[in-house]
Structure 1
Amino acid sequence: MAWMFASGHAVDIVLAVILVELGWLVGRAKWTLADAVMRLAPGVLMLIALRAALTGLDWRWIALPLIVSFPVHLADLARRTRAK
């Protein structure tokens, strides 16, 4: 199991599950694609940062998706607040 984390494949599996979840939300739960993407994007970005850290990439490749995830999260919150 250690090789799955060292290679980042554990994160790839989680990202694949999130992709399936996106399909389910749009197809069965009747969410719009924009709503589903906005809700899932911050977590996906944090997972990308985790994958970068696990595979030993430079700190900039770890920090960039983490930094981007926060404004995306705020945009999602603002969008949901306006919808109410």
Structure 2
Amino acid sequence: MAMVEALFVEGRIYDLILLVLALEGAFLWGRWRLTGRGPRPSRLIPFLLSGAALVAAARAASLEAAWPWIAGFLACAFAAHIVELHHRWRVRT
């Protein structure tokens, strides 16, 4: 139990989540390259970037970083989210 507690107390849980996001992106990109199935990288990158930026903002906040860092990560997440929404709406309309 101490190991799980340490993940949260030291902020390493955010690093683990970012690693999982990176592995997910690598897997989906590789699958797309090999089979042509799944989301194209141009659609995958904004999706993963928005999640990663939110995780980075949470990590920065938990470590009491200066507010410009948190705001910057949140702005990046918002921008990536807007790009991803644009891709989704463009395909469906």
Q: What TM-score do you get using the length of structure 1 for normalisation? A: 0.84
Q: 2:20 aligns with which of 17, 21, 26?
A: 17
Q: Look at both structures and tell me which one has the larger radius of gyration over its CA atoms.
A: 2
Runs of 4+ with >3 A deviation: none
CA–CA distance in structure 1, aligned partners of residues 90 and 54 of structure 2: 25
CA-based RMSD: 1.6
Give, as a single letter, the amino acid of the residue that structure 1 aligns with 2:30.
Answer: G
CA-CA distance at 1:43 after TM superposition: 1.0
Give, as a single letter, the amino acid of the residue that structure 2 aligns with 1:83.
Answer: V
Give, as a single letter, the amino acid of the residue that structure 2 aligns with 1:14.
Answer: I
Percentage of pairs with the same residue:
30
Structure 2: runs of 5+ lacking an equivalent: 32-36
Q: Which has the higher contact order (CA 8 A, sep 6+)?
A: 1
Q: 2:9 aligns with which of 6, 13, 16?
A: 6
CA–CA distance in structure 2, aligned partners of residues 58 and 81 of structure 1: 35
Question: Are the structure 2 counterparts of residues 35 and 71 from structure 1 closer, same or farther at C-alpha, using a change threshold of 3 Å?
Answer: same
Aligned to 2:85: 77
Aligned to 1:54: 62
**How many correspondences in the alignment?**
84
CA-CA distance at 1:71 after TM superposition: 2.2
Structure 1: runs of 5+ lacking an equivalent: none
Q: Deviations over 1:45-80 (max 9, x none)?
A: 000001111112112111111122112211111122
Give, as a single letter, the amino acid of the residue that structure 2 aligns with 1:65.
Answer: F
CA–CA distance in structure 2, aligned partners of residues 7 and 37 of structure 1: 28
